Amino acid sequence: MKEYRTEQIRNIGVIAHSSAGKTSLIEAILYNGGAIERMGRVDNGNSVSDYAPDEIERKTTINCSVCVAEWKGYKLNLIDTPGAEDFYGDLESALRAVDAVIVVIDATTGVEGGTEKVWEVADKYELPRLIFINKMDKENASFENALASLGEILEARTAVIQQPIGKESDFKGVVDLVQMGAFMEAGGNQSEIPSELQDQAEEMREQLIEIAAESDDELIEKFFEGELTDEEISAGLRTGFCANQFVPVLCGTALQNIGVQPLMDAIVNCFPSPLDAKPVKAADGETTYEASPDSSMSALVFKTMADPFTGRLTFFRVYSGILEGDSQVYNATKAQNERIGKLLFMSGKNSVNTPQIAAGDLGVVSKLTQAQTGDTFCKVGQSFQLPGIEFPKPVISYAIRPAREGDDEKLSTTLARMTEEDPAFTIERNDVTQQLLVSGLGEVHLSVIRSRMKDKFGLETEIEEPKVPYQETIRGRANGIQGRYKRQSGGRGQFGEVWINLSPLERGSGFEFLNSIKGGSIPRNYIPAVEKGIRETMAQGVIVGYPFVDAQVELYDGKHHAVDSSDMAFQIAGSFAFRESASQSNPVLLEPIMNVTISVPGQFMGDVIGDLNSKRGRIMDVEQAGKRQVIQATVPLAEMFRYSIDLKSITSARGSFTMEFASYEVVPDEIAQKVIAETKAEAEA
């Protein structure tokens, strides 16, 4: 592969709802650019970007994959992204590394739930977008309906650059309104516009010229004075596109390779190069570099993955300067040097060696031991940290354990490696339930993780729904409670006696121990033993075994024996006193309550609120954000373990939510009795 200057590079994310045809479109682009000799198909498992075994098996994109095409003297770095929400961690990684995106729309369905969601992610990164309406040759395909859905659902200001020739099985090609030519066959050779479409094309071209002219003051003056040239139209479209003023719309069919070459021309002519991007700014908001090979080197790791043949692969984008192979760089995130070995350009699973990677380009290095996704590389002796990648928060959790005894250590090691590969996958040990929890973006996400653990590391696992980390506390008081331990079995015995008062504290206060002993009824050296006995009993719980919290214990009297008293005797006496006082103080169960934020299209709001009410949720606020409703609610964690599945069903996958811990609250009596019975039955079993 020849070297390309920064201005000749285009970094493009390809995003869509699942099954809209992203991977097929990339396949056609690679074929047209000469990167492959024949087009593969997702259904046949031989596409360039979907090469992982689980992607081939599931016939869907799971990992973001870099593919490279060369076209008319330009290098197109295309990143295929997952369409399923379960794998949006990789979507975030990809969109952090590109300068613009192609949004693929299925002509038979128009904008779908996944389209809305990937659009929102592109919004977050303020990326210019071009829309390719795909599958124009399919039954029920409608360019007009798909175009209408862009305005109605996405509220996008569109600039139609192509119109279709024919529809459904009669779809033959596209009319390019800039070049005013027809492209009616695979390969994209230009021909005359069909006469029956000439008038409509002229009318649509006038609308396009007006949109292009509005992007530049000089062009708008020329527009009112007379005709714009094709070059001026292209320049206006590029200016407006890069400034995110409108969304160009093209169409075609990727599987038949019709309309793809004009799309590639549009990428070259309209999409920004890395030089058009804003200067590289550090996370501190102060240090900046120009996105140029002449600046000091900075690069961001946007993905890491384990390859069974080459080891660990680290994907990065060089934002400024030049990264050279066989060199040292400073990992500013980890605050340590990294040894860079052989550099690679990747296209799917295929690699090409390169001595260096210049500003704006994407590259790969293997066998780095420390670098992780989101890390910044810079020149040794400098410390320049780029903004990292904000990954979506997990929405579903399961308790995990190895299927075979003795694999606990292997499980810990393997899970750590999986979190390095996929930062949207998290692990945590719950101290209350003693379960190891894995969390992800959906059931399919966690299923794929487990499959990879088995295939790559030979580790089989089992999962179950997590236990709720309940707590215990009291609502009443108990004063003057005695705890006495006496044992005599010949020789020295055991004796300790304590008197305590127990009272509740505010929620979240924890535990408070007051020593009010006067007159030496209990020697000072035995007081810590009393507290220890109480704390150990609190950890074990008094109702059904959950930690006891938010209570104050006052030790105010007791008795001791000069010979028989000991730390152990007073520890047991303290335990007895606490259990008795807790049982007399109206003990109750507490459950974790979550703050939940749900974003849904307006038509689903009633169903979502009804479902939340059935889950014991409390609606705190509802506000409108564009055409979506944002619902703020508090819901018990016990009702939320499978909410991602429920919300997807209720909203046809168009809703999303986040949740975080809010507080602990008392479990209603009816539910508490059920929890107690289930916990006791489990313990007996």
- Per-residue pLDDT tens over the stretch 142-199: 999 999 999 999 989 999 999 999 999 999 999 999 989 999 877 667 889 999 999 9
For the cut 80, the answer to whether the pLDDT of residue 442 exceeds it is yes
Beta-strand runs (E) in 81-208: 100-106, 129-134, 158-160, 162-165, 173-176, 181-183, 190-191
Tokens (6 digits) for 170:
């009669």
What percent of the chain shows pLDDT beyond 70?
A: 99
Query: What pLDDT score does 305 carry?
Result: 87
Answer whether residue 635 is part of any domain.
yes
Residues β-bridged to residue 365: 314, 343
- Per residue in 633-675, pLDDT (tens digit) is 999 999 999 999 999 999 988 899 999 999 999 999 999 999 9
Above 80 in pLDDT, residue 489? no
Q: Are 477 and 489 in contact (CB under 8 A)?
A: no
Q: What is the CATH number of the domain that holds 553?
A: 3.30.230.10
Mean pLDDT, rounded, for 411-425: 92
Please work out, in degrees rounded to the nearest 5, the angle formed at the alpha carbon of residue 189 by the alpha carbons of 188 and 191.
120
At 492, the pLDDT band (50, 70, 90 cuts) reads: confident
CA angle at residue 337 from 334 to 342, to 5 degrees?
115
Same structural domain for residues 40 and 103?
yes
Question: Could you say which of 447, 464, 481 is where a domain stops?
Answer: 464
The mean predicted confidence, pLDDT, of the chain is 92
> 10 Å Cβ neighbour count for 653?
18
DSSP single-letter state for residue 462: E
What is the structure's pLDDT at 310? 63
The pair phi, psi for residue 207, each rounded to 5°, is -65, -40
Task: Say if 386 falls within a structural domain.
Answer: no
Same domain, 91 and 104: yes
Of 546, 521, 555, nearest to 683 by C-alpha is 546
CA separation, residue 619 to residues 290, 572, 594, 641, 644 (Å): 48, 46, 12, 19, 18
pLDDT at 32 over 80: yes
Asked whether the beta carbons of 400 and 394 are under 8 A apart, the reply is no
Per-residue pLDDT of 551-601, as tens digits, reads 999 999 999 998 899 999 999 999 999 999 999 999 999 999 999 999 999
CA 451 – CA 459 distance, rounded (Å): 9
Which element (helix H / strand E) includes 568? helix 567-583
Query: What does each C-alpha distance from 583 to 6, 574, 586 come to in angstroms?
Result: 74, 14, 7
In a domain, 455, yes or no: yes
Residue 440 has pLDDT above 90, yes or no: yes
Q: How is residue 1 written in tokens?
A: 């592969």
In terms of residue numbers, what domain contains 484? 472-585
User: Domain check: are 47 and 92 in the same one?
Assistant: yes
118-to-53, 298, 326, 387, 653 alpha-carbon distances in Å: 25, 28, 38, 21, 12
Q: Indicate if 578 and 651 belong to the same structural domain.
A: no
Residue carrying structure tokens 């074929």? 31
Question: Do 308 and 373 reside in the same domain of the chain?
Answer: yes
pLDDT of residue 279: 77
Measured CA to CA, the distance from residue 68 to residue 78 in angstroms comes to 6
Question: Which ranges of 64-110 would DSSP assign to H, the alpha helix?
Answer: 88-97
What are the structure tokens assigned to 619, written together? 């609606």
Percent of the chain with pLDDT over 90: 80
Give domain status of residue 391, yes or no. no
Q: What is the pLDDT of residue 415?
A: 94
- Residue 261 DSSP SS3: helix
Residue 655 token pair: 């809703």
Is the same domain home to 225 and 190?
A: yes
Q: How many Å apart are CA 316 and CA 365, to the nearest integer? A: 8
CA-to-CA distance for 368 and 354, rounded, in angstroms? 17
85, 192: one domain: yes
* Per-residue model confidence (pLDDT) at position 272: 95
Residues 251, 112 within the same domain? yes
- Token pair, residue 532, equals 């220890």
Residue indicated by tokens 């020295």 = 492
Residue 671 in contact with residue 654, Cβ under 8 Å?
no
Q: Distance between CA atoms of 249 and 130, rounded to whole angstroms?
A: 6
Final residue belonging to a domain, choices 585, 619, 635: 585
- pLDDT, tens digit (0-9, with 9 covering 90-100), for 496-550: 999 999 999 999 999 999 999 988 899 999 999 999 999 999 999 999 999 999 9
Least Cα distance to 623 among 647, 649, 593, 599 occurs for 599
CATH number where 422 lies: 3.30.70.870
Q: Give residue 89's pLDDT.
A: 94
- Chain position carrying tokens 């109702």: 543
* 383 occurs within a structural domain: no
Q: For residue 361, is pLDDT > 80?
A: yes
* Residue in the structure block whose two tokens are 């997807």: 648
The mean pLDDT value for 233-237 works out to 91
> Residue 111 pLDDT more than 70?
yes
Mean pLDDT of the region 364-388: 91
The answer to whether position 567 is within a domain reads yes
* Confidence at residue 179, expressed as pLDDT on a 0 to 100 scale: 87
Q: Is 543 helix (H, G, I), strand (E, B) or coil?
A: coil
Query: Which DSSP symbol is given to 192?
Result: P
560 with 496: CB under 8 angstroms?
yes
* Listed residues 432, 464, 496: the one ending a domain: 464
Residue 392 lies in a domain: no
Assess whether 119 and 45 both reside in one domain. yes
Q: What is the CATH number of the domain that holds 651?
A: 3.30.70.240
Residue 489 Cα distances to 68, 361, 497, 564, 673, angstroms: 84, 82, 18, 11, 41
Residues 341-355: pLDDT tens digits? 999 999 999 999 999
Please check whether residues 568 and 668 belong to one and the same domain. no
Rounded to 5 degrees, what are φ and ψ at 656? Answer: -145, 160
Span 116-130, average pLDDT: 94
Q: Say yes or no to pLDDT of 283 above 80.
A: no
Q: Classify the C-alpha dihedral 119-266-43-142 as positive or negative.
A: positive
| pLDDT at residue 187, rounded to an integer | 65
Domain with 68 in it: what CATH number?
3.40.50.300
Whole-number Å distance between alpha carbons of 367 and 363: 14
**Shared-domain flag, residues 361 and 310:** yes
pLDDT for residue 680? 87
**Domain check: are 646 and 572 in the same one?**
no
- Calculate mean pLDDT across residues 199-220: 90
Domain contains 601: yes
Question: What DSSP character marks residue 538?
Answer: H
Q: What is the pLDDT of residue 230?
A: 84
Would you say residue 204 has pLDDT above 90?
A: yes
* Domains identified in the chain, total number: 5
For 94, other C-beta atoms within 10 Å of its C-beta total 28
